[in-house]
Every structure is written in C-alpha cells, then in structure tokens.
Structure 1
Amino acid sequence: MRGSSRRPVAVVMAWVRRQPPKVKAFLAVVAGMAALVFIRFIVHDHDNLFVAAEAAHALGIAVLIYKLTKEKTCAGLSLKSQDLTALFLAVRLYCSFVMEYDIHTILDTAALAATLFVIYMIRFKLRSTYMLDKDNFALYYVILPCALLALLVHPSTSHNIVNRICWAFCVYLEAVSVLPQLRLMQNTKIVEPFTAHYVFALGVARFLSCAHWVLQYLQFMAVY
C-alpha cells in the first residue's frame, strides 16, 4: 500500500528529470506561481513569511557550520557567496537600526555573526581545503548592478533617501548572493550533500522572502 501511494510521485519526478532544461525552468516558474497563490490565501500576516525566510537561512548556515566543524573541510563552498551574504546582512542590519528596530534586527545580528564565523573558518582555519581556483565568480558582476538598481528603484517611504537606497540594495543583493556558490558547483561538477542542503535552504529562504515582498506590494496596490 505504501509503495503504491508513493509510485505516482516517483513517476512524476522521473518524468521531470527527463525534461530538457527549458521545460524544467518553465515548470519551476509555474510551481513557484502556484505556491505564491497558495501562500497568499493561507498566510494572513505577510511578515511571518520574512521570519520564515530568515529561519530557513539560519538553518542553511547551521548546516554549513556543522560541515566546517565536523568534517574539517570547506571543499565545495564559495567564500564569495559568504562575503556577499555578510555584506547584505550588514547593510540590512544598519537599515534595521536606523529605520525599524524589531525582531528582524535580532535575527539578522545572529545570522551575520554566524556568517562571519563561516568566513573566518574558510579564510583561515580551513584555507587549505578552499577551492580558490573554482570560486572564480567576479563579485562586481552582482554588486555594481545591485547598487545601480537600488539608486533607480527604491522604496518611497518617509525615511532618509540614503537609508531607502541601502535597503533596496540589500534586498537586490540578497536575491543574487547565491550565484558564486552555484558557479562553484558548476565548475566542480560535484555537489556534496551538506552543500546541496545549504543551497536548498537558501532557495527556500529566497522564495519566501520574494513571496513576502510580492504580497506586500499587492496589498499596497489593493489599498491605494
């Protein structure tokens, strides 16, 4: 009985794996939109989505710390992704202090401290296992476009314009901070289990964060 109940899921997953990349991308977009609609109807306080995104991010960092401390290796991990993560968390933490001090400030402080620990482990303690030649994504490809986009598109609130630009910058940078990690995985063509779990947690966190902003915007448009 249990095997028969799982068989349709296995058949669907096998079918998806056989599809070309473009079809997989289309299916992912459709699944994301369906999940967004589902979330809109079951989540009444959209701020909970942001908390859930931060929780998923924290879980991903916990997986990294476990890998670094137990396996004593940082092979397969991108230091540049961690640098981008620390950058957007630092900017968001600054914005939290000057714009809106709340529970997110505490969560971001903990996440930044954990990320700095990961950076310290990769850069110093486990430097011999760091794949420097594979971690070759140029950071200015994401930092400069995010900064330019933040200058052009930022929230129209009553806060200081510098703070509004900084907030937009950290939102945009968060969305693309995983790109160096994906590039490293593409270069090595080997995905370790802990790295895969970390990337999956980041994907969940980014989706929930995106859902938060999309639903906030839709709610704003419905009011005005």
Structure 2
Amino acid sequence: MGAGSKRPINTVVGWVTRQPPKVRACLCVVVSIAALVFLGLVVHNHDNLFVAAEAAHAVGISVLIYKLVKERTCAGLSLKSQYLTALFLAVRLYCSFILENDIHTVLDTATLATTLWVIYMIQYKLKSSYMEDKDNFAIYYVIVPSVLLAVVVHPSTAHFIFNRIFWAFCVYVEAVSVLPQLRLMQNTQIVESFTAHYVFALGVARFLSCAHWVLKVVDTRGGLLTAMGHGLWPPMVLIAEIVQTFILADFCYYYVKSVFGGQLVLRLPSGVV
C-alpha cells in the first residue's frame, strides 16, 4: 500500500525530470505561484509566514549542529557560505539595533551566535574533514557587487546614509550567500543526507520569507513598497527575495526527487548550480 501510494508521485517526478530545463523552470514558476495563492488563502495573518521562515531556518541550523556534534564531520559544508551568513547577519543585527530594535533583533542574535559557532567548528575543531579544495567559490564575487549595488540602490528613508547603505548591503549579500554552498555540492555532486536536509531547510525558509513579503505587498495594495521609500529600492527588496528562492529551487527539486526515490544521499547532475 505504501509503495502504491507513492507511485503517482514518482510518475509525476519522473515526467518532470524528462522535461527540458526551460520547461522545468516554467513549472517551478507555476508551482510557486500556486503555493503563494494557497498560503494567501490558508494563512490569515501573513506575518506568521515570517515566523515560519525563521522556524524552518532554525530546523536547518539544528540539523547542522547535529551533524557537527554527533557525526564529528563538516564534510560537504561550505565555510565561505557560513562567512557570508555571519557577515549579513552581523550587518543586519547592527541595522536592527539602529533602525528597529524588535523581535528580529533577538532572532538575528541567536542565529549569528550559532553561525559563529559553526564557523569555529569547521575552521578549528573539524578542520581535517573540511573540503577546502571543493569550497572554491570566490566570495569577493558576492561582496564587491553587493557593496557597489548598495551604494547605488539603498533605502530613501530619513536615516543616516551609511546605515541605509549597510541595510541594503545585508539584503544583497543574503540573497546570494548560499552560492558557495551550492558550488561545493556541485563540485562533489554527491551530498550526504544531513547537508541536504540543511540546504533544503534554507530553501523552505527562503520561500516562506519571499511569500511573506509578496503577500504583504498584496495585502497593503502596494502600500508596503511606498513605506519602504521610493526609487529602485522597494522593487530591489522583492527581487532579492525572489532571487534567494529561485537560487535554491533547482536543488530543492532534486532533494524532493531523492526523498521520494528513497535515496539516502543526493546525487546532483552537472549544471544544477
């Protein structure tokens, strides 16, 4: 009975797998829109989606902690992605203290502390299992464009100019901070389960966060964008959220395919990242 119940899902997954990349991309967009509509109808308070995003991120961090503490290995994890995560969290934490000072400050503090602990474990305690040769994404490809873009496109609020640039910088870095992790997994092409669970949790968190922003814009009939200022900044925030989601979309597809196929490890074909 269990195998029979999975057969239709496996059939759908198999059909999607046989489609060209452009068709899969279109299907991903259609599924994402359908999921947004579903969440908009089911979740009455769309602020709860942000809480759900933080919860999904916390689950991913918990999986990461388990891998490092119990498995005593950091194989498959990108130290550079953790550096970028710590960077945007530190900048966002500063901005939260200056600009908001609310519950997000508490959440970011906890996440930053955990990320710094992960960096310490990878760099010192478990260095022998760190795949340094595979973790070869040059992070200045992320930092330099993010700085330049933040200087040009940032909030038009009444806050001090440097604070507004910092705010924009952390948004842009967050959008692409997972790229070194994806590059490492592409280089190895075989992703063990705990790393796959962690990255999938990031993908879920990113989608829920994106859904939160999109639905809030719909709820306010564009008023949220107006409140964020004028010019290119409001649409850039939404674009950054969407970019984060779709960067991880292809990985999440192969993750789901692997889970329904009963595989303990995830095998990535070339060209996913």
Shared fold per TM-score greater than 0.5: yes
Partner residue in 2 for 1:216 = 216
After superposition, give the CA deviation of every residue in 1:164-204 in whole Å (9 maximum; x if it has no partner): 22222212211211100000001111111001001101111
- Return the offset for 1:144: 1.6
* Structure 1: distance between partners of 2:165 and 2:218: 21
Does the 8 Å CA contact 1:175/1:206 hold for their aligned counterparts?
no
* Structure 2: distance between partners of 1:42 and 1:156: 34
After superposition, give the CA deviation of every residue in 1:121-171 in whole Å (9 maximum; x if it has no partner): 000001111111110000011112222222233333333332222222212
- Return the offset for 1:101: 1.2
Partner residue in 2 for 1:64 = 64
* Structure 2: distance between partners of 1:110 and 1:83: 16
SS class of match (2:183):
helix
Partner residue in 1 for 2:173 = 173
* Structure 2: distance between partners of 1:49 and 1:67: 27
* Structure 1: distance between partners of 2:213 and 2:165: 16
Q: Give the gaps of 5 or more residues in structure 1.
A: none
Between 1:195-204 and 1:169-178, the stretch displaced more is 169-178
- Return the offset for 1:70: 0.8
Q: Give the gaps of 5 or more residues in structure 2.
A: 227-273
TM-score for the superposition, normalised by structure 2: 0.76
Q: Where in structure 2 are the equivalents of 1:1-224 lying within 5 Å?
A: 3-223=3-223
Does the 8 Å CA contact 1:78/1:135 hold for their aligned counterparts?
yes
Larger RCO of the pair (alpha carbons < 8 Å, separation 6+): 1
SS class of match (1:205):
helix
Distance 1:127 1:4, change over 3 A: closer
- Return the offset for 1:107: 0.9
Alpha-carbon RMSD across the aligned residues, in angstroms, is: 1.9
- Return the offset for 1:28: 1.6
Distance 1:210 1:144, change over 3 A: farther
- Return the offset for 1:15: 1.3
- Return the offset for 1:49: 2.0
Identity %: 73
User: What is the aligned residue count?
Assistant: 224
